[in-house]
Amino acid sequence: MLKRINKLPFELLSPQSTGVIGPYTKPIAYVSPGDEIEVETWDCYGGAVKPGQTRQQAVDRGIKLPANPVTGPIFVEGAEPGDVLAIDILGIKMPERGFTSLRQGVSPIGLQVEQAKTRFSEIIGNRIHYVTDKGRTISLEADPFIGTIGISPLSEAISTITPGSHGGNMDCPDIQTGARLLLKVNHKGALLSLGDVHAIQGDGEICGTAVEIDAVVRLRLNIIKGSNITWPHIETLEEIMTVCSARPLEDAARLAYRELINWMVADYGWNRDDAQILLSLVAKARIAQIVDPQYTVVAKLDKKYLKE
């Protein structure tokens, strides 16, 4: 049976409910392990920026833009602190268009922006029609993923614009259809929230936005007892990955590699030094984003190297 979880109406979005991930927000849905669910999500501004409009025009009309409003919390029956929540991403349905916004001032990579822009791109099938200033249309292959997904910390309520060990705004393109995301449960029921889906994003998300969309995300949730992880893990058919967020960026990379080594030791019987050497030879790393309050790096290892 497929359970549908709708997003809250725009009028009910608020910093204290849909603007944080934490233990103080009342669950909006209860699901059982193994259930397949469909979750409706808002785009990063709660749909407040309309096609044909710029972000600035919405602000000028007195609209208070919600920041990365999430759908949730979803209470997972049986999830207890110390467990791991396994989230299988089964599908992401995209809308007919998404937008990209470049804000006035100094951009995240240190460039003076000549002209603030909000640009809508049509999404047709799996293609994104991106139109440049000069009117040229570039067809991009969509690669949709969940930008913000996380579960409650023990006691903190963390802004939905911040990533961390609880997940959150990781902006990590590897959290896509076919992947399993693993998060350490800190609170009874896990309290999962998600939103901020991107139709496509480059490494670093350097102008601060991707192709921002609302979406419907299909998931299956399971609880794993007796596992032990610190930071988010991702598993696909081909790879194991760890996702760590920190500043400066090298600290995010170091944490991600240490977590990956711990995984190799715990689940695949490697000794630590050997794991470190192998990663020095064959690991991949992705800079997910360098624009949020903590920066995110994904460390990856092809599973073919793991089999003993």
Interface with a second copy in residues 125-184 (CB under 8 A): 130, 132-134, 136, 138, 140, 154-159
For the bound state, the minimum distance from the C-beta of residue 65 to a second copy, rounded and expressed in Å, comes to 14
For the bound state, the minimum distance from the C-beta of residue 145 to a second copy, rounded and expressed in Å, comes to 13
Show Cβ contacts of residue 300 under 8 Å, excluding neighbours closer than 6 positions.
Answer: 174, 239, 240, 241, 260, 283, 284, 285, 286
User: Is residue 205 involved in binding a second copy (CB under 8 A)?
Assistant: yes
Applying CB under 8 A, the span of 42-50, 57-65, 77-85, 252-260 interacting with a second copy comes to 252-260
271: left (phi over 0), alpha (psi -120 to 50) or beta: beta
If the CB atoms of residues 61 and 136 are measured against a second copy, the closer one turns out to be 136
For the bound state, the minimum distance from the C-beta of residue 32 to a second copy, rounded and expressed in Å, comes to 26
CA distance 291 to 245: 11
Q: Which of 1, 2, 237, 281 binds a second copy (CB under 8 A)?
A: 281
Closest C-alpha among 57, 55, 47, 61 to residue 13: 47
Applying CB under 8 A, the span of 4-12, 26-34, 203-211, 216-224 interacting with a second copy comes to 203-211
If the CB atoms of residues 119 and 180 are measured against a second copy, the closer one turns out to be 119
Among positions 229-248, residues that touch a second copy (CB under 8 A) are: 246-248
Among positions 69-128, residues that touch a second copy (CB under 8 A) are: 100, 102, 106-115, 117, 119
User: What's the order of all strands across the beta sheet hosting 84-93?
Assistant: 2-5, 36-41, 215-224, 84-93, 180-184, 233-235, 239-246, 295-302, 284-289
Give the position of tokens 């001032």: 105
If the CB atoms of residues 58 and 161 are measured against a second copy, the closer one turns out to be 161
